[in-house]
Amino acid sequence: YTRGTVTAFAPFDARADAEALRKAMKGLGTDEETVLSILTTRNNAQRQEIASAFKTLFGRDLVDDLKSELTGKFETLMVSLMRPAHLFDAHALKHAIKGAGTNEKVLTEILASRTPAEVQNIKQVYLQEYEANLEDKITGETSGHFQRLLVVLLQANRDPDAGVDEALVEQDAQVLFRAGELKWGTDEEKFITILGTRSVSHLRRVFDKYMTISGFQIEETIDRETSGDLEKLLLAVVKCVRSVPAYFAETLYYSMKGAGTDDDTLIRVMVSRSEVDLLDIRREFRKNFAKSLYQMIQKDTSGDYRKALLLLCGGDDD
């Protein structure tokens, strides 16, 4: 991935960074500025090296120190930055299905947007870290067609992006049309199977063909024919097929729009995409919402939390 805003910092010295962080947190009061400027400008692999140097030099756990010295959303953001990259999604999913109530939003966002290879990796990490099967955990906490589609996505068996078969495109578009608009009630299974297993390039052609046949965008049909968590998940899959960066631009926009901020979503997306495609997300944001991501973060957040998010954002697009 080369479309992230955070890249390897050079010249990098893990020991020097560890010493600077210890100094920033030692004694009375904390020098938040030093903490945020180091952690937002090093990539995840470098942050892990800093944590390891910190342990070696001071016999202390860097994350524990951050938790005891920082508070609120700023603490959540810094601790999220310190989570090893390969654990990030598995950890988010574990917390989405832990305890009372399930956070369907997190399940939807992660499973709709990750590639089949990434999903396979998440399942493996989940098993290693938590000694539990992710699919079993998710099926235990969800139900109905929403659960069915999550399970299909968890199989990570989406067709590879080979050549597009126009006859199958036509057939799938007709099947979707008959399963939704032409039917009294909806055949959700058809939507689940086609949207959950066909290749991305194939589905893009299906959406175009569907528009030609029905006169509707597939999103409009999903909106009319389904509801609740299933509707949200189907729409997320469609949006990610069209453009993952556009999907995350929209996710960020709605995390800040209106009264109150959904800080969990804002932090999760900014951290998880900062080394992947945040530059593309910024471009889509500017294009679709007539303002830059930078400006919206600036307006919607404050203090050290804002400073750190703006550094992760990596610049304005005006």
What is the distance between the alpha carbons of residues 133 and 123, in angstroms, rounded to a whole number?
7
**Regions of the chain where pLDDT drops below 70:** 1
Structural domain tally of the chain?
4
Last residue of a domain, one of 85, 107, 140: 85
- Say yes or no: 170 and 117 in one domain: no
> Is 8 within the bounds of a domain?
no
Identify the pLDDT of residue 100. 75
> Is 4 within the bounds of a domain?
no
- Say yes or no: 254 and 271 in one domain: yes
Identify the pLDDT of residue 183. 81
- Say yes or no: 212 and 254 in one domain: no
> Is 3 within the bounds of a domain?
no
- Say yes or no: 20 and 72 in one domain: yes
Q: What is the domain-level CATH number for residue 259?
A: 1.10.220.10
Burial of 287 (0-12, 13-18, 19+ CB in 10 A): exposed
Three-class secondary structure of residue 303 per DSSP: helix
Whether 317 and 41 have beta carbons less than 8 Å apart is answered as no
Last residue of a domain, one of 53, 85, 117: 85
pLDDT, tens digit, for every residue of 82-106?
999 999 999 999 999 987 789 999 9
> Is 5 within the bounds of a domain?
no
Query: Which of 240, 239, 9 shows the shortest CA–CA distance to 118?
Result: 240
> Is 123 within the bounds of a domain?
yes
pTM here?
A: 0.96
Q: Where are the alpha helices (DSSP H) in the chain?
A: 14-25, 32-39, 44-58, 62-69, 72-82, 88-96, 104-113, 116-130, 134-141, 144-155, 166-179, 188-197, 200-214, 218-225, 228-242, 244-256, 263-273, 278-289, 293-300, 303-313
Last residue of a domain, one of 136, 155, 174: 155
Range of 262's domain?
244-313
Identify the pLDDT of residue 1. 61
> Is 6 within the bounds of a domain?
no
- Say yes or no: 175 and 235 in one domain: yes
- Say yes or no: 103 and 146 in one domain: yes
Identify the pLDDT of residue 179. 94
